[in-house]
Amino acid sequence: MDESQVIGALSALSQETRLRMLRYLVKAGPAGAPAGEIGEAVGSSSSRNSFHLNALAQAGLITSQRQSRRIIYRVDFAKVGAMVGYLVQDCCGGNAQVLACCQPGCCDGEGGV
Amino acid sequence: MDESQVIGALSALSQETRLRMLRYLVKAGPAGAPAGEIGEAVGSSSSRNSFHLNALAQAGLITSQRQSRRIIYRVDFAKVGAMVGYLVQDCCGGNAQVLACCQPGCCDGEGGV
DNA sequence: TCCATTATTCAATAACTCTTGATATATTGA
DNA sequence: TCAATATATCAAGAGTTATTGAATAATGGA
């Protein structure tokens, strides 16, 4: 993943509706979820929903597949991982403090940053 | 770190000049670097430089400290870590594939995504 | 074929972001 | 105090992004 792809991915995620969409799709797992269900979950209506799902797909973070009348969206974990990996390794040079934050419980709750 | 802080941080990094500034400051380490040096390194002039450094500082990703005539900027690794940690843990639920990409060499070179 | 469902596209508008060049502020040394 | 250095701020303009409501397209069932 090169710099401009990373910027595209970060840009896609730097928006409330889209960040929530990704989170919802992560929970949905490999089965994915149809557009309407995602829209309902994050509270975005019809055209707005398509707009944001398209932005995530353009960035490569999710994929789409028609299934009868519905369009199923799924997280592309390899792409999300590549983006995070770029931040941690390429950008932060594998900094130990940054790496530590990737572990569960590191930055949670009261003690969090 | 809450959702809106994460969005602010992602938004700050989803820009070529600022992503390069952060990378430069990571390399500079704890000593940090003065604004002018950063601007020269990333190729941004005076006002543009201030604009982008301010954006990174507003997002909490870097700190500033006057030192005589210069203003020294430094990466706040805790904040960068918190952002990455949010993506990996809160947003991706600690997904194994995403976590694996945080390790050195995972997504480098030819085999990369 | 007709209708309902599901989702996308389009046009208009509002809001935000980035760049530029000019100006202003803070600090230091002569 | 004056000039030089280092940086920040301001105003205008171009470009981009997000929202809305209406219209369009694709699919499946009566």
Pick the CATH number of A3-76 from 2.40.50.40, 1.10.1060.10, 2.40.110.10, 1.10.10.10: 1.10.10.10
Phi/psi-derived region of residue A85, left when phi > 0, alpha when psi is between -120 and 50, beta in every other case: alpha
Long-range pairs for B106-110: beta carbons < 8 A, 24 or more residues apart = B106/A81, B106/A85, B106/A89, B107/A1, B107/A81, B107/A82, B107/A85, B107/A86, B107/A89, B108/A89
Report how far apart, in Å, the C-alpha atoms of A20 and of each of A45, B26, B66 are.
14, 29, 39
How many Å lie between the alpha carbon of A76 and the closest alpha carbon of chain B? 10
- CA to C1' distance (Å), from B66 to C22: 25
- Is there contact between A49 and strand C, defined as CB under 7 Å from any strand atom? yes
Q: How many CB atoms lie within 10 A of CB A68?
A: 7
Amino acid letter, residue A101: C
Instruction: Show the tokens assigned to A43.
Output: 């509270």
Q: How far apart are CA B89 and CA B99, in angstroms?
A: 9
In tens, the pLDDT along A21-77 reads 999 999 999 999 999 999 999 999 999 999 999 999 999 999 999 999 999 999 999
Of B6, B98, B108, the CB nearest to A80: B98
Residue A112 has pLDDT above 90, yes or no: no
pLDDT at A108: 72
- Residues β-bridged to residue A71: A66
Identify the closest residue of chain A to B61 by CA–CA distance.
Answer: A113
Are the C-beta atoms of residues B109 and B101 closer than 8 Å to each other? no
In three-state secondary structure terms, A66 is strand
User: Averaged over A99-113, what is the pLDDT?
Assistant: 79
Cβ-Cβ contacts under 8 Å for A45 (sequence gap 6 or more): A39
Long-range pairs for A93-98: beta carbons < 8 A, 24 or more residues apart = A93/B26, A93/B27, A94/B104, A95/B26, A95/B77, A95/B80, A95/B81, A97/B77, A97/B78, A97/B81, A98/B77, A98/B80, A98/B81, A98/B84
User: Averaged over A2-17, what is the pLDDT?
Assistant: 98
Cβ-Cβ contacts under 8 Å between A and B: the total is 147
Amino acid letter, residue B112: G
Pick the CATH number of B3-100 from 1.10.10.10, 3.10.450.50, 3.40.50.620, 3.40.50.1950: 1.10.10.10
In tens, the pLDDT along B52-77 reads 999 999 999 999 999 999 999 999 99
Of B3, B77, B98, the CB nearest to A84: B98
- CA to C1' distance (Å), from A43 to D18: 15
**Residues of chain A positioned with their CB less than 8 A from the CB of B86:** 107
How many Å lie between the alpha carbon of A32 and the closest alpha carbon of chain B? 14
Give the pLDDT band of residue B109 (cuts 50, 70, 90). Answer: low
pLDDT at A107: 79
In three-state secondary structure terms, A72 is strand
Question: Which of B37, B112, B49 shows the shortest CA–CA distance to A90?
Answer: B112
Give the pLDDT band of residue B82 (cuts 50, 70, 90). Answer: very high
User: Averaged over B94-106, what is the pLDDT?
Assistant: 94
pLDDT at A111: 53
Residue B29 has pLDDT above 80, yes or no: yes
**Residues of chain B positioned with their CB less than 8 A from the CB of A93:** 26-27
For chain B, domain boundaries? 3-100
